[in-house]
Amino acid sequence: MIKKLMLTITIICSMMIANYNQPTTEQMNQILDKVAKHVWQEAMNAKAKVNAILPQVREEYLSNLASSAPRVEFITHADLGDTLTSFGVEANIYVSTDGQNIWSNNNNVYPLNSSGYESTWEAITTTGGGNNIYWYLSGLVNSEALGLDFGDVLVTQSPYNANDSWTPSNNLYALVGADDVGDAGSSYDITGVRGSYSDNKLYASLDLVGACCDEGGLFGPWNLFVVAIINPDAEEQVAYALGYGDGGFGQLYPALYKVDGDLATGEVGGFSSITEDFGYSTSGNSFQANVNMDYLINDSQWGTWPNSVNGVVLVGTTISASLDGLNIATEILDTGDVGVFVMSTQHQDGNTPPVLSDPSYDENTGNLTVLYTDTEGNLAVNHSVELAGENYNMIPSDHTYLEGAVFTLNLDSLFTDGNATFNFSDGGAETTILDFSFSGGSSCSLLGDANGDSAINVLDVVLTVNIILCADCPDNYNACSDINEDQTINVLDIVSIVNIILGPQ
């Protein structure tokens, strides 16, 4: 009898305790508001960090990416502006020749510092060969070098999940943001955020030290695992989040969330679920999720898309919420490093040799030029011209190889006519050759008429003497003074002009 009474008392006490700890609707709304505020603040901090960097690097990073044709010694180029090159670049090139199954990582990226490539950084990656190649660029931007104080920001492309594989294997992910471990309990300690993409979807993985994902107890604490998504170009202060939680008596659940607020007051305006139509997995040590980009792009507050970086800002956060007596307690357990995820990958299958066209010679400047165009946008590995048995490298005007880039060689009065043989290759098996005959001739209609007054007299002698005396002057050559057309003005030309003036003797 006593045992039954004690059991009854225990059950009643347990029920009373459980009922006491169960949050009211008002308390649950307060918890959700505080959780939303944490998500929003971390997202806005991430946006502020990225937007402090992007105005200085947006036009410089991932600019004019180009590569050779697929080959064993695979060459990649990226043009980086003065802001980035002034403090150096920590970059990695990832290359795959087996359909993105295995990636070779090359961090030997260096500046060329040569004519036509003053801002170009190059990497040569040894591959297994083959005609099918994928590659992408990842780089670390040091905020301190830009006069800022919030650490490093990773800007990266990634592999391309063409078949919407779910869950993506590790080889289809790129690291977007890393994080130091040991600053939270293992089940909430973030090691990094990874990203991938397809034509329609964004994929993200929040990686933890311990197993994912501890939702918490029935009566708390309740845990939320989040990958925040931010459009850095959005005018409104809004963030989106792939979130996983299972608590709060139904108020926390897996969804694509949206939260907005006011930076002036720091208050959250709204926290809502955009959709539960997304894939997620909590197996192993990662919360992985994918969402159709249309849910983001079609939201009225998302902003312009594609944006200036063709990508998004990602940051991972783990949050705990609970009741502390009658008070609300929320806590950010861990936040990962900020990363910019650029949704693009370079890919080439096979190769078409480049085309050479529009050869020309400008007798006024001495420039020999040819237009190089490559269907795949490949750089010119070989860009030379043969003149009188000697080979000379030509210099590109820019690196828009898909649209066409003009390559130039200044003949510097070494040749005024002759035969030129252009030899160009994008690194593929075939070399493109173009022959060109050119003749500069003389730009002077009356030899000896140095001042161009249609008469040859002592004034022309004086002007020619002045040209000889002023050897360092930038305009110390006059085709009409060069009587013997040897590209040099000297006393022989003076004698010839005098003889023309004096006439036959």
- Tell me the two tokens of residue 465: 């003497």
Q: For residue 62, what pLDDT band results from cuts at 50, 70 and 90?
A: low
- Whether residue 80 contacts residue 65, with contact meaning beta carbons closer than 8 Å, is answered with no
Burial class (CB in 10 A: 0-12, 13-18, 19+), 124: middle
Whether the pLDDT of residue 192 is over 80: the answer is yes
Q: What is the DSSP secondary structure assignment for residue 168, as one 8-state letter?
A: P
Mean pLDDT along residues 168-176: 97
Query: Closest Cα partner for 116 from 393, 378, 395, 372?
Result: 395
Mean pLDDT along residues 339-368: 92
| Cα–Cα distance, 360 to 63 (Å, whole number) | 29
The strand pair at 327-335 and 110-111 is best described as: unpaired
Helix (H/G/I), strand (E/B), else coil: 111: strand
Query: Closest Cα partner for 242 from 358, 341, 170, 136?
Result: 341
pLDDT given at position 10: 40
| Cα–Cα distance, 432 to 394 (Å, whole number) | 15
Q: Which of the residue ranges 110-119, 212-221, 234-243, 423-432 would you say has the lowest mean pLDDT?
A: 212-221
Segments of the chain assigned to CATH 2.60.40.10: 351-439
Helices (H), 125-241: none
| Cα–Cα distance, 191 to 181 (Å, whole number) | 6
Whether the pLDDT of residue 300 is over 90: the answer is yes
Q: What pLDDT, in 10s, does the model give residues 233-292?
A: 999 999 999 999 876 556 678 999 999 888 778 788 778 899 999 999 999 999 999 999
| Cα–Cα distance, 400 to 404 (Å, whole number) | 6
Mean pLDDT of the chain: 85
Query: Closest Cα partner for 492 from 457, 448, 455, 458?
Result: 448
pLDDT given at position 228: 94
- Whether residue 459 contacts residue 497, with contact meaning beta carbons closer than 8 Å, is answered with no
Helix (H/G/I), strand (E/B), else coil: 398: coil
pLDDT given at position 61: 54
- Tell me the two tokens of residue 267: 């208050």
- Whether residue 315 contacts residue 338, with contact meaning beta carbons closer than 8 Å, is answered with yes
DSSP notation for 243-310: EE--BGGGTB-SEEEEEEEETTTTEEEEEEEEES--EEE--TTEEEEEEEHHHHHTSTTS--SS-TTS
Better-predicted residue by pLDDT, 263 or 492 = 492
Helix (H/G/I), strand (E/B), else coil: 14: helix
Q: What is the DSSP secondary structure assignment for residue 160, as one 8-state letter?
A: B
Q: Which of the residue ranges 142-156, 166-180, 335-349, 424-438 would you say has the lowest mean pLDDT?
A: 142-156
127-141, 256-270, 461-475, range with greatest mean pLDDT: 127-141
| Cα–Cα distance, 75 to 124 (Å, whole number) | 5
Whether the pLDDT of residue 439 is over 80: the answer is no
Whether the pLDDT of residue 354 is over 70: the answer is yes
pLDDT given at position 379: 98
Mean pLDDT along residues 227-238: 93
Cβ contacts of 168 within 8 Å, gap of 6 or more? 161, 196, 203, 205, 288
Q: Is the peptide bond before 213 cis (omega within 30 degrees of 0)?
A: yes
Q: What pLDDT, in 10s, does the model give residues 381-408?
A: 999 999 988 999 999 999 999 999 999 9
Mean pLDDT along residues 76-87: 70
pLDDT given at position 23: 63
456-489 burial, b for 16+ CB within 10 Å, e for fewer? beeebbebbbebeeeeeeeeeebbbbbbeeeeeb
Statement: 351-439 belongs to CATH 3.30.1640.10: no
| Cα–Cα distance, 90 to 105 (Å, whole number) | 13
Whether the pLDDT of residue 47 is over 70: the answer is yes
The strand pair at 390-393 and 405-410 is best described as: unpaired
Q: What's 298-365 look like in SS3?
A: CCCCCCCCCCCCCEEEEEEEEEEEEEECCEEEEEEEEECCCEEEECCCEEEECCCCCEEEEEEEECCC
pLDDT given at position 146: 52
Whether the pLDDT of residue 196 is over 90: the answer is yes
Q: What is the DSSP secondary structure assignment for residue 35, as one 8-state letter?
A: H
E strand or H helix that includes residue 77: strand 73-79
Whether the pLDDT of residue 182 is over 70: the answer is yes
Whether the pLDDT of residue 51 is over 50: the answer is yes
pLDDT given at position 20: 44
pLDDT given at position 322: 79
pLDDT given at position 502: 84
Whether the pLDDT of residue 224 is over 80: the answer is yes
Phi, psi of 308, deg, nearest 5: -70, -20
pLDDT given at position 16: 38
Q: What pLDDT, in 10s, does the model give residues 18-41?
A: 444 566 767 667 777 778 888 888
- In the block, tokens 């009643």 appear at 12
Q: For residue 501, what pLDDT band results from cuts at 50, 70 and 90?
A: confident
Q: What is the DSSP secondary structure assignment for residue 122, as one 8-state letter?
A: E
- In the block, tokens 């989106």 appear at 240
- Tell me the two tokens of residue 351: 């190769």
Mean pLDDT along residues 471-492: 78
- Tell me the two tokens of residue 417: 């006519």
pLDDT given at position 143: 61
Q: Which of the residue ranges 297-301, 383-387, 389-393, 454-458 would you say has the lowest mean pLDDT?
A: 454-458
